[in-house]
Structure 1
Amino acid sequence: MKWRIKLLSFFYLASIGIILPFLPLLFQSRGLTNGQIGMLMAIGPLVSMLVQSPWGYLSDRLRTVKKVVMFQIMMAFLLSFLLFSLDSFYLLLPAAFLFFAFAWPPLPLIDCLTLAIAREKGGSFGSYRLWGSLGFAVTALVAGSVLAVVGIERVDRIYQGLLLLALLFAALAQDAPQAAQPVGFDQLKKLVTRKEVLLFLLLIALLNTTNKVNDAFMGIFMRGIGGSEADVGLAWTIGPLSEVPVFAFSFLFLVRFNELTLLALAAAIYSLRWFLFSITTDPALVTAIQVMHGLSFGLFYVSAVSYIGKIVPQHLRASGQGLLSTFSGGVAGIMGSLLGGYIMDGFGARFLYTSCSILALVSVVAFLVLSQSQARKTAQVGDSP
């Protein structure tokens, strides 16, 4: 059973390894401006913000994660034919809305499946999740080289093939065991309005906005300093590959440090990474700096998933992961794509990455303050009679 969920993660993240690096380049090749590309890429996070929590709630309500994931992947496959056939910005807007409503939401539910299987079969969450990073990295590398030869217009065939493989392994994967306690909408509402949960999610969105800026515009940034599709693919490969050792040994970090401290460390690494991008004019240096992605994103991801798993009830686990994705992908993605596009057009890449570096520094302080606050609360509970 372990290899099935690992291969599901591998092929689903491989499909994302096509969309994130190369969809902006496809839009650019069809004559869209950076602002228009930013708006289209912001639709994914916007839709994610709107539908991610309902998808998680539906999964908890129906008491099945696997079948919901299969339905999402199947619909993303069908709607991709519409998305890739259009070149008009105004037609792409509704098509992208429909497509992203199904293409983006599977990840937190796959994480939910992974957490359940890791608990049942043994092993850390990171030891499973690293297969997704490998899928993303291998695809970005191979696709970058292939597309440099055959042209960016062929990106649709690669994406659709990967989705079919993801659907196959979703069908073979074991479903997550469901709690006997029924889930009602009032429980989800109480979860969202808990101060501890809401503050954490807002800080996650703040930090991940900087990462979403890079997701949307690193390819265009590299093109602007002389990079090719192959250079973009290599940069996107190095980043996820650097996640693998972090995910593999993430349990060592989580045993020694609390999640909020690790998030502060991730934010500090992000800040340095974006600053280095802001002063770089060589595509090869961008690729080298991408090695920092492993510690920045890897620590961010495992710490966020672990922390949200601790502060939400077990029977709301899919809803909790959905909320995390809503803020880290939806809210952050909208801010990153929309603001990033207009800042890129108006002030250039250097100003954009400098702004991201400053925002990440603010996140360092915020997570450290929250960590100290949680430590004081824990100490007070321990001292109470």
Structure 2
Amino acid sequence: MWVRKKVNMGIASLRAYNFFYFSLLSIFISFLPVYLTFRDVTPSQIGVLIGVGSFIGILSQPFWGMVSDRYQTIKKVILFTLGFSIVAGAILFLSAPLYLLFLLVGAMYFFLLPTDPLTESLNFRIAQKHSVSFGSIRTFGAIGYATASLIIGWTIDQVGMEQLVWLFLGYGILAFLFIAIVSDAPASGKKLSWLELKQFFLYPKTLRFFLLVLLAATPHRTNDSFLGVYVQSLGGSTGDVGQAWFLAAMSEVAFFAISARILSRWSEIKLIMVASALYTIRYILCAIVPSAEWVVYLQLTQGMTFVIFYTATIQYLYKIIPEEWKATGQTVLAVLFFGISGIIGSIAGGWVFQQWGGSALYMAMGGFSLVAFGYSLFLWKSKRVGERIG
């Protein structure tokens, strides 16, 4: 009885950490472009700034994942990266001089973004250890992202962008306190093997999988960077931006809750193919709708696109990667999702937005998602042919 109560308290603490960490992440991902616009940074400059940050993320995320694997701890690495993120973010949102923005945004990408894949790895491993579903834990992160987006957007409309720093500090400190009492993830008893890692990366199935992730993730990350700017360009307010992210995250809550059931009935590649098709429809509709209000409500499709895509990729990754490299594999996935795709999406997206406007950008994103759908369809058919031959 005592052991069960302790386990339940540990799961509850992990859920609370997810709630406040993803609330913190919503401030950085959802409102950083809006904050930079408030500081008179142009869309193309925002694209470069986020692109440089994404490049830093390419280096930092595998680094922290390998540190986690090397020292067989996830929690301690999260405490370190999250602590530095809170300090850097507080300075960033305290109206730092423009010449410091690049340095501070870079610091956030070096510390805060790698905390995401480490958190996902912690969630997945603890869920496996205690036989609970990954979605039942991750759902609280989606709820946090949703509520924070709504609260922050409304609060900024009421008291001004200058008060964003206090919201950031509040969510950050609470996230730090809850992760401090969460148990560490179970460590693998196997020794790290560089030869196995090399074989994993050179394996054709792995390369094809990572290419598919890159194709599907690039328009998604472009949307992360420019949704707020696009909504405001159509006449929407900061509150509308918050509402858009709230609706997106609430749709994630619903789909995370049923993700285990979906994953048990469909193959990962087939789910990624469906998500890519839905991404295509979503972005084309965003490009052709007549007002900001329509773009806001279209974010309700986030659950059908992002959650299906992301949970399917995580499950597939954990099937093909060696046990001792799971944290590193998770960070490689994050490098593609938040790093390389972020660089392509933010820099190219900022240029397209500056030259032709937000509607053209979202039409291009729809085209990119269509390519991802075509490639996932090819992989799915190839898999079916291979199974028949086998």
TM-score using structure 1 length: 0.95
Give the whole-Å Cα distance in 2 for the aligned partners of 1:60 and 1:339.
Answer: 34
> Helix, strand or coil for the counterpart of 1:80?
helix
Give the counterpart of 1:223 among 226, 232, 241.
232
Matched, 1:332 2:341: yes
1:91 deviation in Å? 2.7
Matched, 1:22 2:31: yes
> Helix, strand or coil for the counterpart of 1:175?
coil
Extract unaligned runs of 5+ from structure 2. 1-9
Please tell me the residue identity of whatever aligns with 1:118: A
1:254 deviation in Å? 1.1
Give the counterpart of 2:223 among 214, 235, 239.
214
Matched, 1:175 2:184: yes
1:168-211 deviations in Å (ceiling 9; x for gaps): 11111111111111214444333322221122112111111101
* Number of the residue aligned with 1:110: 119
From the superposition, tell whether residues 179 and 379 of structure 1 become closer, same or farther in structure 2 (CA, over 3 Å).
Answer: farther
From the superposition, tell whether residues 77 and 260 of structure 1 become closer, same or farther in structure 2 (CA, over 3 Å).
Answer: same
Please tell me the residue identity of whatever aligns with 1:112: S
1:318 deviation in Å? 0.3
1:201-234 deviations in Å (ceiling 9; x for gaps): 1211111110111111111111111100111100
Tell me, yes or no, if the aligned pair for 2:94 and 2:165 is still in contact at 8 Å. no
* Number of the residue aligned with 2:374: 365
1:376 deviation in Å? 3.4
Please tell me the residue identity of whatever aligns with 2:349: G
1:135 deviation in Å? 0.3
1:89 deviation in Å? 4.2
Matched, 1:205 2:237: no
**Which sits farther off after the overlay, 49-58 or 63-72?**
49-58
* Number of the residue aligned with 2:22: 13
Give the counterpart of 1:316 among 318, 325, 328.
325
Give the % identical residues.
33
Please tell me the residue identity of whatever aligns with 1:254: L
Give the whole-Å Cα distance in 2 for the aligned partners of 1:39 and 1:292.
Answer: 28
Give the whole-Å Cα distance in 2 for the aligned partners of 1:233 and 1:59.
Answer: 34
1:39-92 deviations in Å (ceiling 9; x for gaps): 122233222211111211111110001101111100111222332345554432
Give the counterpart of 2:364 among 333, 355, 362.
355
Note the 1:1-385 alignment, pairs <5 A: 1-85=10-94, 87-381=96-390
1:341-378 deviations in Å (ceiling 9; x for gaps): 01000011111011111110111111121122233334
From the superposition, tell whether residues 302 and 317 of structure 1 become closer, same or farther in structure 2 (CA, over 3 Å).
Answer: same
Please tell me the residue identity of whatever aligns with 1:221: Y
Tell me, yes or no, if the aligned pair for 1:246 and 1:299 is still in contact at 8 Å. yes
Give the whole-Å Cα distance in 2 for the aligned partners of 1:102 and 1:190.
Answer: 29
> What RMSD over aligned residues (CA atoms) do the two structures have, in Å?
1.4
> Helix, strand or coil for the counterpart of 1:105?
helix
1:241-281 deviations in Å (ceiling 9; x for gaps): 00112111112211111001000100111110101100123
> Helix, strand or coil for the counterpart of 2:83?
helix
Tell me, yes or no, if the aligned pair for 1:43 and 1:100 is still in contact at 8 Å. no
**Which sits farther off after the overlay, 156-165 or 89-98?**
89-98
Give the whole-Å Cα distance in 2 for the aligned partners of 1:353 and 1:249.
Answer: 29
1:92-140 deviations in Å (ceiling 9; x for gaps): 2122212210011111111111111111212221121111100000000
Tell me, yes or no, if the aligned pair for 1:86 and 1:92 is still in contact at 8 Å. no
Give the whole-Å Cα distance in 1 for the aligned partners of 2:48 and 2:97.
Answer: 13
Tell me, yes or no, if the aligned pair for 1:30 and 1:87 is still in contact at 8 Å. no
**Which sits farther off after the overlay, 45-54 or 315-324?**
45-54
Tell me, yes or no, if the aligned pair for 1:239 and 1:291 is still in contact at 8 Å. yes
Please tell me the residue identity of whatever aligns with 1:215: D
**Which sits farther off after the overlay, 76-85 or 66-75?**
76-85
Tell me, yes or no, if the aligned pair for 2:275 and 2:304 is still in contact at 8 Å. yes
> Helix, strand or coil for the counterpart of 1:204?
helix
Give the whole-Å Cα distance in 2 for the aligned partners of 1:349 and 1:36.
Answer: 15
Extract unaligned runs of 5+ from structure 1. none
> When the two structures are aligned, how many residues end up with a matched partner?
381
Give the whole-Å Cα distance in 2 for the aligned partners of 1:72 and 1:204.
Answer: 25
Give the whole-Å Cα distance in 2 for the aligned partners of 1:19 and 1:152.
Answer: 13
Give the whole-Å Cα distance in 1 for the aligned partners of 2:30 and 2:115.
Answer: 19
TM-score using structure 2 length: 0.94
Give the whole-Å Cα distance in 2 for the aligned partners of 1:370 and 1:246.
Answer: 25
